Amino acid sequence: MHEKKIAVIGGDKRQKYLADYFSLLGYKTVIFGAKNIPDTASDLTDALSGAYAAVLPFPISPDGVFLNAFCEDCNIRLSFLFSEIDRLSVSRIFGGLVTAPVSAEAEKYGIRIFDYGDVEEVKIKNALCTAEGAVEIALRELPFTLSGSVCCVLGYGRIGRILSLRLRDFGAKVTVFVRRPEIAALVLTDSMNFSYNVPDASVNADLIFNTVPAVLLNEKILPKLKKNCLIIDLASAPGGVDFSEAEKLGINVIWARSLPGKTAPLTAARIIADSVSAELDKS
Amino acid sequence: MHEKKIAVIGGDKRQKYLADYFSLLGYKTVIFGAKNIPDTASDLTDALSGAYAAVLPFPISPDGVFLNAFCEDCNIRLSFLFSEIDRLSVSRIFGGLVTAPVSAEAEKYGIRIFDYGDVEEVKIKNALCTAEGAVEIALRELPFTLSGSVCCVLGYGRIGRILSLRLRDFGAKVTVFVRRPEIAALVLTDSMNFSYNVPDASVNADLIFNTVPAVLLNEKILPKLKKNCLIIDLASAPGGVDFSEAEKLGINVIWARSLPGKTAPLTAARIIADSVSAELDKS
Amino acid sequence: MHEKKIAVIGGDKRQKYLADYFSLLGYKTVIFGAKNIPDTASDLTDALSGAYAAVLPFPISPDGVFLNAFCEDCNIRLSFLFSEIDRLSVSRIFGGLVTAPVSAEAEKYGIRIFDYGDVEEVKIKNALCTAEGAVEIALRELPFTLSGSVCCVLGYGRIGRILSLRLRDFGAKVTVFVRRPEIAALVLTDSMNFSYNVPDASVNADLIFNTVPAVLLNEKILPKLKKNCLIIDLASAPGGVDFSEAEKLGINVIWARSLPGKTAPLTAARIIADSVSAELDKS
Amino acid sequence: MHEKKIAVIGGDKRQKYLADYFSLLGYKTVIFGAKNIPDTASDLTDALSGAYAAVLPFPISPDGVFLNAFCEDCNIRLSFLFSEIDRLSVSRIFGGLVTAPVSAEAEKYGIRIFDYGDVEEVKIKNALCTAEGAVEIALRELPFTLSGSVCCVLGYGRIGRILSLRLRDFGAKVTVFVRRPEIAALVLTDSMNFSYNVPDASVNADLIFNTVPAVLLNEKILPKLKKNCLIIDLASAPGGVDFSEAEKLGINVIWARSLPGKTAPLTAARIIADSVSAELDKS
C-alpha cells in the first residue's frame, strides 16, 4: 500500500475509471472537476493539498487558457491551477496533449508536465482501442457483413495496421494505401494487398477507413467512389475527407474522433494509469 | 433475362433488398405488404397474378393464422393467401419457418412451401451474420476492449464456432463450453480452450455468449459470475438465461434475437435470394 | 496411482511414447514387440500376464494374419495373440484399424477390440497432425514462400478444413474444391474461396493438396495444371492422383501417408493414450 | 522490352532464379560464376561487355579479397572485377552485404555499389522467408505439434514479429521477450504475451527462437530450460546461444542461417530482383 495521494483533476468519466484504477494500485485518490462524476474533494485546493501527483485530463485545455474541467459556478484558469500546484508543492504533474500554450503557462511556475498522450506505448495501445471502435462503427452502419466486404484502409501506421488486421481476420478483402515500399512490404507480409495510389485502393471499396491526417479523399476522388460507400475517418483535425464535397455527393462520412474514450473508456483509463504509474515508479 | 415474375409478400425491409436482388438476377419482381416499403402491386391478387413464384417472409406467420404482412386496413389470413396462390396457379412457394399450422393450412390447397430457413447452407451463412451482430453488441456495450477480455461461449455449433473464432481473432481469451469430446477436440484444433462444465467456463468471464437453447445460465450459476459480467444470449426462445434471476442479481443480459436481419439486412436478404434462386434453377 | 497394468504390444516408436504417457497417467506399463524399442517383458505371455488392458498398434495387422510386431526369430499370429489374451484374462483390448479379418479372429475368442482409430475425437486430433505435416512438406519442397502462393485444397472434411485454415493464416491464397453448397458456405464463412469444379480450383495453383479418397486429379486434369505445380496427396489408398500419368507429365507428386506418426509421434501417441484412458475410465 | 543487358555474377543457385526473373522483366541477362549453374558467358569480361548493370551475389565477398564466385581454374579478385567494370563502363552495380573492404576496393575505381541487402523493404520480405524457414525447422524437428506447444521468441523486430504471428496462428502459446514497453504494447496488440525477462519467457518453453544478435541464452539460463527444449537460433554471428554450454547440457540447438536462400530461393531471388529493378527504374 502506497501512502501517496493522487489528485485526478478535470476531464470526463474516464477520470473516474482512472481514479478507481489508481486505488487498485494502492494510491489514495481524489477526484475533482470530472464531468458527471461527483467530486471527492471540496475544491481544487483541497484536491491538491498533500497530493504527490496530479493527473490532468486529455486534453488538458482545448483553448490554452481554461482547464478542461467541470465544477459549479467556476472556470479554472490554467494560471490558477499551476500556481496552486506550485504553492502546494505537488511534485509530479501528468496530462494529455501538452500544447505550446499549456506548456508555456506551466513553465512560468517551474512545472514540467509529463505528457502521457505522447508516450509511444500509450499510442500503440490507444490504436487498438481505436481499431475496435472503428470496427464497431462499421458493423453498426453497414447493411451487409464485414466478411466478404471490400475494404480500403488509407495509411498503415499504428492505427492503420491493427485495424487492417482486424478487418482481414473478419474476412474482409482489404487493400491498404501506402506511400513507401517498405510499408508495402509490411502489408504483403501481413497477407493483404497494397496500392501506392488512392483511387486504385478506394474506388471498388464498400468501406473506406482513413487514418492519414491529410485530405486524401478530395473532390477528385470522391465522385469515383462506389455508390453507397461508407467512409469512416479516423484522422485528427482537419480529417482526411473533403466533407462538403462528400455531402454534396451524398456520400456517407463518419468522422470518428477520440474513439478510445468512447468505445473502451475503462481500457483507455487503464492505459493512462499504467503509463503514469510506470513513470511514478521510475523515481 | 428471365421473363418470370416473383412476388415478394409481407415481412420487413429485408424484403425490399430481396426484391432488388431478384431484379439483379433478372426476375420481374413485385412487392406487397412489406413493412415501411411502398407496395408495387395494388393488392395481394394483383401481386400474385401471373407470378411464377411467391416469396413469403421469415417468419411466415407468428400465430399460424395471419400472414406476417402490413397493408392498409387489412389483415391477410393464410387461408386467403393460399387459396389465391392456388387459384392463380403460382407454381413455387418459398417462406421461412414453416410451422405445423402454416404447413397444415397450405396443404389444404395442395401447396408445398420450400422453407429457406431450414436449408443448411442458409443456416451457416446466417450464423456468420449472427456472429458479426454479437461482436457488434459486445463492442458497443463493454467499457473495455475485446482484446484481452475473458470470453465464454456456450455451445460450438454453427454460431458458437464462428463467433468463437471471431472473438479469438480479436485477441479475446475464449473458453468454449461443450458437452462432447469430439467437439472439445475441434475447439482445441481451433486453438481455444474448452470446458465440459458451465461454471468453470463462465465464472471468470467478462463476457458470456450463449448459443444453446437451454437454460444453462440458471439460478445456481448466475450468482457465481463475475461482477459486471455481460451476458449476450443468442439462443432462440426460451433463451439460455434465467432472466428474472439475472435481473434480481443486477446482471446485464441482452437477448439478441434475429440478428441477421438487424445487423446485415442486405446480406441476410441475399442469403435468402441465393437459396431461392438456386432452388428455382433446379427445375 | 493405478495398480493396473497395461501391455503395449507391437507397432513402432509411437508405442514407446504411448507407454511413457500411460506411466505418467499412473499405469504400470510393459512394452513388447515395438520396432527399435527394447522390450520390457521377456515374451508376449510375460507381457500379457496380469495385464488389465492390452494396447495393440495402428494398424493391428496389415495382412489380417500376423500382428504388426517386431520380435527376434518370431512372427506373432493373431490367433496366438488372441488365445493368450483369452487365457490370461486380459479384460480390455484396444487397437487401431480393426479390419474384418482381425475382428473375425478376435471374436473366435470372445474378444471385442475397441478401435481407437475410429473415434471421432481421435480423427479430429489426427487431422491437425496431418495438416501440420502437410505444411511441413510444402515448406520443405517449394522454392517459394507459402505466403502469396496459390493453393488448392480438394475436400473440406476434417483434414481439408484445418489444413486450409493453416494455409490461409500463412498468407496463401486458398481455393477449396467442394461438392455441396453447405460446405461451400462453410468455406466462405472461413474467409476463403471455393469452387464446385476441380479444374477451376486447381489450374492456377502452385500447390494442390488432395484429401478426397477418389482420383480427382486424373488424366484429364493433370495436363492442365500449372508447370512446376506440386501435388501433395493426403488421401488413403488408392490416393487421389493418377500417379503414372503425373509421372509421364513430370508433375511432382508426394503421397504423404500416416503423417501423424511421422511428423508428431509424441502428439499422436498422446492422442491414442487419451482416448484409451478415457475409455478405461468409463468402466 | 528493355534492350538493357544485366550481368548476374557469382553466387549460388539463387542467381539462376534472379537471371530468369530479370528476363521476365524484359532484360537481356547473362550468368557467370554461379555455383552449379552453367555460365552463359565465356568469361567475366564477356559477361560484363555491353552490360548496363552487374548484379553481384549476397555476400559479395566473405573475405574482402575474392569475389564469391565459382569458375574453372580461377579465383576472381575484387580488384580485377572492379577494374573490368570500370574499363567496360558498366553503369550500375548491385550487391549484397557491402562490407568496408569491398566498398574501399570499389571506390578505388570510382564505383558505388547499391547494397540491396540494406534496403528496408528487402529486409522485411526476407524476414518473412526466414519465419517460414524457422517454422519448417520446428515442424521437422519436434515430435509434437506446434499447436498447443509453448513457444518463446526472443526479440520482436522484423523476424521476431512475423515469426511470432505465424506460431500464434498455428495455435502455439507464444511469449515474446522484449526490452522496451512500446514493443511490449505491440505484442499485446498482436494478442500474445510478453516478458521483460529472458528466464520467465523461456523456462517453460518447448521451443525457443532467438532473433537477437546477443548471447541471451547463456550459461545462467540454459540449465533452467525445460528438458528436451529445442532452440532455433536465427541471429547472425555470433548467434544468441552459448553453444558449448548447450552442448554440455545436451540441449538441442539449431543455428539456422541464411534461411531465405535455403527455404525459398525463388522468392529470395525475386525479392532482390524487385529491389534492383525498382532502383534501375528510378533513373
Q: Hey, what domains does chain D have and what are their CATH numbers?
A: 5-118 (3.40.50.720), 123-261 (3.40.50.720)
Say whether pLDDT at A157 is over 90: yes
Residue A226 is given by DSSP the state P
Q: Decide if pLDDT at A127 tops 60.
A: yes
Burial status of residue A20 (CB atoms within 10 A of its CB: 0-12, 13-18, 19 or more): middle
**Which of A121, A181, A189 lies at the smallest CB-CB distance from D162?**
A189
Query: What's the mean pLDDT in A252-280?
Result: 93
pLDDT for res D2: 62
- CA–CA separation, A158 vs A100, rounded Å? 25
Is the CB of D120 less than 8 angstroms away from the CB of A182?
yes
Which chain B residues have any C-beta within 8 angstroms of a chain D C-beta?
Answer: 147-148, 171, 188-191
Which residue would you say has higher pLDDT here, D12 or A8? A8
Q: Is the pLDDT of residue C51 over 90?
A: yes
Closest Cα in chain C, distance from residue A279 (Å) = 38
Task: Find the CB nearest D191 among B147, B189, B190.
Answer: B147
Measured between beta carbons, which residues in chain D are less than 8 angstroms from residue B188?
A: 147-148
Model confidence at B73: pLDDT above 70: no
Give B1's pLDDT tier (boundaries 50, 70, 90).
low
Work out whether the CA dihedral A159, A165, A171, A173 comes out positive or negative.
positive
Residues of chain D with pLDDT under 50: none
Say what the pLDDT of residue B119 is.
96
Distance CA D159, CA D234 (A): 9
Residues in chain A within 8 Å Cβ distance of B263: 139, 145
Burial D114-123 (b: 16+ CB within 10 A, else e): bbbbebebbb
Tell me the pLDDT of chain B averaged across its residues.
Answer: 94
What is the mean pLDDT of the segment spanning A173-186? 97
B226 to chain C, closest Cα gap in Å: 32
C225-232 LR contacts (CB < 8 Å, sep 24+): C225/C251, C228/C252, C229/C205, C230/C138, C230/C141, C230/C142, C230/C206, C230/C254, C232/C134, C232/C137, C232/C138, C232/C207, C232/C208, C232/C256
Mutation to test the C interface, candidates D24, D139, D163, most C Cβ within 10 Å: D139
Shortest distance, CA D171 to any CA of chain B (angstroms) = 5
Closest residue in B to A168 (Cα) is B169
Instruction: Say if residue B2's pLDDT is above 70.
Output: no
Residue B213, Cβ density class (10 Å: 0-12 exposed, 13-18 middle, ≥19 buried): middle
D189/B148 Cβ within 8 A:
no
CA distance A23 to D94: 60
For residue A17, the chain B residues in CB contact (below 8 A) are: 143
The model's pLDDT over B31-49, given as tens digits with 9 standing for 90+, comes to 999 988 889 999 999 999 9
Residue B238: per-residue pLDDT? 84
| Contact flag A139-B135 (C-beta cutoff 8 Å) | yes
Pull the grid cell for residue B255.
437477448
- The string of pLDDT tens digits covering residues D86-145 is 999 999 999 999 999 999 999 999 999 999 999 999 999 999 999 999 999 999 999 999
For residue D149, which residues of chain C lie inside 8 Å, CB to CB?
none
Asked if D145 and C166 come within 8 Å (Cβ–Cβ), the reply is no
pLDDT of residue C220: 96
Predicted pLDDT of residue D80 = 95
Residue B191 with chain D: CB contacts under 8 Å: 147, 171
Contacts (Cβ under 8 Å, ≥6 apart) of A72: none
pLDDT given for residue C236 in this prediction: 85
Identify all chain C residues contacting A191, using CB atoms and an 8 Å cutoff: 147, 171
| Interchain CB distance below 8 Å, B144 and A267 | yes
Q: Which three cell numbers stand for residue D127?
A: 524476414
Q: Decide if pLDDT at A90 tops 60.
A: yes
Which contiguous run of DSSP H or E holds residue A54? strand A53-55
Give me the mean pLDDT over the C245-258 stretch.
94
pLDDT of the residue at C75: 87
Would you call C182 and B127 a contact, using CB atoms and an 8 Å cutoff? no
Better-predicted residue by pLDDT, D187 or C13: D187
B chain contacts of residue D171, beta-carbon cutoff 8 Å = 189-191
pLDDT reported for residue D1: 52
Which chains border C (3 or more CB–CB pairs < 8 Å)?
A, B, D
Residues C95 and D270: their CA atoms lie apart, in Å, by 50
Nearest CA in chain C to B121: C182
> Which range is most confident: B9-23, C155-169, C269-283?
C155-169
CA distance A117 to chain D (A): 13
Binned at pLDDT 50, 70 and 90, residue C45 comes out as very high
What pLDDT is recorded for position B75? 87
Instruction: Indicate the Cα dihedral angle D219, D223, D224, D230, nearest 10°.
Output: 100
pLDDT recorded at residue A70: 87
Predicted pLDDT of residue D36: 86
Q: State mean pLDDT over B113-127.
A: 96
Nearest-neighbour CA in chain C from B149: distance (Å): 23
For chain A, the straight-line distance linking the first and the last C-alpha, in angstroms and rounded, comes to 17
Chain D neighbours, 3+ Cβ pairs < 8 A: A, B, C
Tell me what the mean pLDDT of segment A217-242 comes to.
94
pLDDT recorded at residue D122: 96
Cβ–Cβ pairs < 8 A, chains B and D: 14
Reply yes or no on whether the pLDDT at B221 is more than 60.
Answer: yes
Distances (CA, A) of D175 to A242, D48, D192, D193, D198: 44, 50, 6, 5, 10
Strands B193-195 and B28-32: unpaired
Mean pLDDT of A81-102: 96
Neighbours of chain A (3+ CB pairs under 8 A): B, C, D
Interface of C with A (CB under 8 A): 147-148, 171, 188-191
Q: What is the pLDDT of residue C60?
A: 94
Contact partners of B by the rule of 3+ C-beta pairs under 8 A?
A: A, C, D
Distance from CA of C29 to the nearest CA of B (A): 26
**With 80 as the cut, is the pLDDT of residue A71 above it?**
no
pLDDT, one tens digit per residue, over B247-265 is: 999 999 999 988 998 999 9
For residue D270, the chain C residues in CB contact (below 8 A) are 144
Interface probe, candidates A144, A151, A191, chain C, greatest C C-beta count within 10 A:
A191
**Span A152-172, mean pLDDT?**
98
Question: Which residues in chain C touch residue D136, judged by CB atoms under 8 angstroms apart?
Answer: 136, 139-140
Assign 3-class secondary structure to chain B.
CCCCEEEEECCCCHHHHHHHHHHHCCCEEEEECCCCCCCCCCCHHHHHCCCCEEECCCCCCCCCCECCCCECCECCEHHHHHHHHHHCCCCEEEECCCCHHHHHHHHHCCCCEEEHHHCHHHHHHHHHHHHHHHHHHHHHHCCCCCCCCEEEEECCCHHHHHHHHHHHHCCCEEEEECCCHHHHHHHHHCCCEEECCHHHHHCCCCEEEECCCCCCECCCCHHHCCCCCEEEECCCCCCCECHHHHHHHCCEEEECCCHHHHHCHHHHHHHHHHHHHHHHHHC
Q: Is pLDDT above 60 for C246?
A: yes
